[in-house]
A and B are shown apart, each in its own frame.
Chain A
Amino acid sequence: GAGVSQTPSNKVTEKGKYVELRCDPISGHTALYWYRQSLGQGPEFLIYFQGTGAADDSGLPNDRFFAVRPEGSVSTLKIQRTERGDSAVYLCASSFTGRNNKAGELFFGEGSRLTVL
């Protein structure tokens, strides 16, 4: 497809369960980002990949959150032992290389809405 694709669009889970959220970036974009957006707030940075490696994971809130991008394209955000406070929209974005002045021009997907009951 032409844009960033995220699945599932909606996920309802119970407290304590494990969740995976998938992101398929725009072809040719080497940089991939995960952000989290709570109701009425702006997106909050979680992690940034340049190619296969996590170049900056300083936004991950704790060790229950982990993300991978094994082949430098599709990425999966993994949340263990979910808590009610994890409920939010998880946004994935991609861009051209993170090192030039086009890098802040992010192309976002529509997000995965996670609800933890």
Chain B
Amino acid sequence: EDQVTQSPEALRLQEGESSSLNCSYTVSGLRGLFWYRQDPGKGPEFLFTLYSAGEEKEKERLKATLTKKESFLHITAPKPEDSATYLCAGAPGGGYNKLIFGAGTRLAVHP
């Protein structure tokens, strides 16, 4: 069964304290690995797509990496506005129409 597991469930950081979020996946014929950000009361917002092991993508203070079994979202020198839930999702082989989401990591960055 396709599954995506994220850890930790929650993470509290001080402003400027770098850390990483983990996404472990078992998704048959993975076509792509996606990261989304979700603010309270809002829908998820697309961040990155990774297609193959070794690939990296960056955006401001965020960098996503992918191996054959897991993905990491590295947050460098976070700011309070980076506080959100970060969701990881895998697209199984056969198309991108059904994303398998993890439960997310709730990140809180305190000044």
CB distance B46 to A107 under 8 Å?
Answer: yes
Contacts of A110 in B (CB 8 A): 41-43
Q: Which residue of B lies closest to A59 (CB)?
A: B98
Give the CA-CA distance A33 to B91 in the complex, in Å.
Answer: 14
Q: Which residue of A lies closest to B51 (CB)?
A: A101
CB distance B43 to A103 under 8 Å?
Answer: no
Number of interface residues of B (CB under 8 A): 25
CB distance B101 to A42 under 8 Å?
Answer: yes
Contacts of A111 in B (CB 8 A): 42-43
Tell yes or no: B49 within 8 A of A by CB: yes
Q: Mark A57-91, 1 if CB is under 8 A from B, else 0.
A: 01100000000000000000000000000000001
Tell yes or no: B99 within 8 A of A by CB: yes
Tell yes or no: B87 within 8 A of A by CB: yes
Give the size category of A's interface with B: 20 to 34
Tell yes or no: A93 within 8 A of B by CB: yes
Give the CA-CA distance A96 to B110 in the complex, in Å.
Answer: 37
CB distance B91 to A104 under 8 Å?
Answer: yes
- Minimal beta-carbon separation of A29 from chain B (angstroms): 13
Most buried by B among A41, A43, A93: A43
Across the A-B interface, give the 10 residue pairs with the lowest CB-CB distance, nearest first: A108-B43, A42-B101, A103-B96, A48-B97, A104-B96, A45-B98, A98-B97, A105-B46, A43-B101, A104-B32
A41-B103, A42-B101, A91-B44 known; 5 new pairs, CB 8 Å cut-off, are A98-B95, A101-B51, A103-B95, A104-B91, A106-B99
A selection of 25 A-B contacts at a CB cut-off of 8 Å is A4-B43, A42-B4, A42-B89, A42-B102, A43-B101, A44-B101, A48-B98, A55-B97, A59-B98, A91-B43, A98-B95, A101-B32, A103-B96, A104-B31, A104-B49, A104-B89, A104-B91, A104-B96, A104-B99, A105-B34, A106-B44, A106-B46, A106-B99, A110-B42, A111-B42
